[in-house]
Amino acid sequence: MSSEMSTGTSRVKRGMAEMLKGGVIMDVVTPDQAKIAEDAGAVAVMALERVPADIRAEGGVSRMSDPDMIDGIIAAVSIPVMAKARIGHFAEAQILQSLGVDYIDESEVLTPADYSHHIDKWKFTVPFVCGATNLGEALRRLTEGAAMIRSKGEAGTGDVSNAVTHMRRIRDEVTRLASLPADELFVAAKELQAPYDLVAEVARTGSLPTVLFTAGGIATPADAAMMMQLGADGVFVGSGIFKSGNPAERAHAIVQATTHFDNPDVVAKVSRGLGEAMVGINVADIPVHHRLEDRGW
Amino acid sequence: MVTRTTIGVLALQGGVREHLVALDLCGVSAVPVKTVEQLDLIQGLILPGGESTTIIKLASQYELVEPIKERIRSGFPVFGSCAGMILLADHIEAGTADQETFGGLDAVVQRNAFGRQTESFETPLRLDNDMAPFPGVFIRAPLVMSVGSGVNVISTIEGGAYAGRVVGIEQENLMATAFHPELTPDLRVHHRFVKMVNESQW
């Protein structure tokens, strides 16, 4: 072992995600919101210009946030700050790394910049989190260098059903893989469109090699508790907090429900008196071409 | 009857699972701890890495702060890694306004002392007088700025820009590391804590 300090290793990238486990990462658009999130017990904030609900309402091309706005949020809090880059937009990712964000979300919530290729994440010192609707997609993102996976949901809706579908699917596919005899893993890799070595590793360990968070449509403490019971390691909450009637209280409640997800008495207690939840949109009412789950390949 | 040593890992948030696995490999019984009642079932406690501000808030909401402080004062063995080191320090720098700790370690610890995540790193460490270096994993890690006279230094950085800086300390029933031994297969730090627990009165 040399006495050098090695930065950007897989161990520090994946390890960072391990330290976020059991926590809530909250979307914020201003330094004030970031402070509210930190005070409520968020483990990190996601700095962005518009929360998904507004992106949905306003339409247009959605891009990386203004560096001034990200700087403002970094200056406001002591907890980690994440930010989103468009799928495939490596130059946005380079900018975010130079700003000193702690994690980059290569996110389908923004308008994709490349309809064939995701970012080559191995080239970066900063770690990346990517969304996935199934195990194959998760393994392809890990192959490109992602250090953390989140199941995709339908962000900006307050409808948790897609997050549930994708979390269950990933979990079921991992379980299935772990039950296969070794000689069937070659075809499994072909079907999953993922490298054999990674497929064999998941089959052997019975889990993803990285942390798996959930995201998209989580709006209540009960939503968070449900996703944790379904096997999520932690929770991203986007529009659900700052589009609700009482953000500070709701943020606080979702943090507690995420920790005590297996204790219904606690989840019941923190669910009281939170005021209006975000209004919400049913996923079924969104035209198929406006749905986010199909972004990413 | 011989009862097996049971060590708890505070499971409010953070890298809990890795510590449970490491303790299991050390041959002791390991349990996650979320409530005051569970503190009565263990002979030692690990405060894991994670977000120190989140962990202390959750501990305070569920009335764990005073019982843990009380035990620390009475000689209960506690080991903290990374955020856990911050939570055990009597004094912290770069914390949030009025950030509370369990305290007990007579040391000044600076939060996020090496910078942001892009500055997180791995480097070999000196552990006591062992010839073999310990694989140090530092993630938005704290650093020990100064220690009181009752504190033993157990680990320092071997080389590079931070050569000689203190990253592991021990004081009576308390032990803390700025790095994450639980993210490596090297069990020396965990064995050391198990030994501390086995030699204590709890």
Taking Cα atoms as reference points, which of B17, B87, B5 lies closest to residue B42? B5
Farthest-apart Cα atoms in chain A, separation: 58
In DSSP terms, which residues pair with A84 in a beta bridge?
A: A105
Nearest CA distance, B73 vs chain A (angstrom): 27
- Please tell me the predicted confidence (pLDDT) of residue B127: 96
pTM of the model: 0.95
Tell me the pLDDT tens digit for each residue of A104-140. Answer: 999 999 999 999 999 999 999 999 999 999 999 999 9
Decide: A23 and B180 in contact? Cβ < 8 Å: no
Q: Which two tokens stand for residue A139?
A: 């393994």
DSSP state of B133: P
Q: Which residues of A are catalytic?
A: 84
Report percent pLDDT > 90 for chain A.
Answer: 79
Measure the CA–CA gap between B67 and B35, rounded to whole angstroms: 10
Considering only CB atoms, which chain B residues are within 8 Å of A126? 117-118
pLDDT band with cut points at 50, 70 and 90 for residue A83? very high
What is the average pLDDT value for chain B, to the nearest integer?
95
Interchain CB distance below 8 Å, A100 and B116:
yes
- Please tell me the predicted confidence (pLDDT) of residue A279: 65
In DSSP terms, which residues pair with A24 in a beta bridge?
A: A235
Q: Which two tokens stand for residue B45?
A: 């406690």
Domain boundaries, chain B: 6-199
- Please tell me the predicted confidence (pLDDT) of residue A155: 80
Torsion on CA atoms B174, B178, B180, B184, rounded to nearest 10: -100
pLDDT band with cut points at 50, 70 and 90 for residue B2? low
Residue B160 near chain A (CB below 8 Å): yes
Q: Check the CA dihedral A221-A223-A228-A232 and report its sign.
A: negative
pLDDT greater at residue B16 or residue A292? B16
Active site residue B82: yes
Q: What are the E-state strand segments in B41-192? A: 44-47, 78-81, 89-93, 105-110, 121-127, 134-138, 143-147, 152-157, 166-171, 174-177
Measure the CA–CA gap between B166 and B187, rounded to whole angstroms: 20
- Please tell me the predicted confidence (pLDDT) of residue A12: 97
Contacts of residue A263, defined as CB under 8 A and 6 or more positions apart, other chains included, come to: B34
pLDDT band with cut points at 50, 70 and 90 for residue A20? very high
Measure the CA–CA gap between A129 and A146, rounded to whole angstroms: 6
pLDDT band with cut points at 50, 70 and 90 for residue B202? confident
Interchain CB distance below 8 Å, A102 and B137:
no
Taking Cα atoms as reference points, which of A4, A17, A146, A101 lies closest to residue B122? A4
Q: Check the CA dihedral A214-A165-A252-A77 and report its sign.
A: positive
Tell me the pLDDT tens digit for each residue of A214-228. Answer: 999 899 999 999 999
Q: By mean pLDDT, which of A43-52, A67-76, A203-212, B74-83 is the weakest?
A: A43-52
Decide: A245 and A214 in contact? Cβ < 8 Å: no
Q: Which CATH number fits domain B6-199: 3.30.565.10, 3.20.20.70, 3.90.1150.10, 3.40.50.880?
A: 3.40.50.880
Interchain CB distance below 8 Å, B123 and A4:
yes
Tell me the pLDDT tens digit for each residue of A167-222. Answer: 999 999 999 999 999 999 999 999 999 999 999 999 999 999 999 999 998 999 99
Decide: A138 and A118 in contact? Cβ < 8 Å: no
Tell me the pLDDT tens digit for each residue of B31-53. Answer: 999 999 999 999 999 999 999 99
Contacts of residue B74, defined as CB under 8 A and 6 or more positions apart, other chains included, come to: none
Active site residue B190: no
pLDDT at position A1 over 60: no
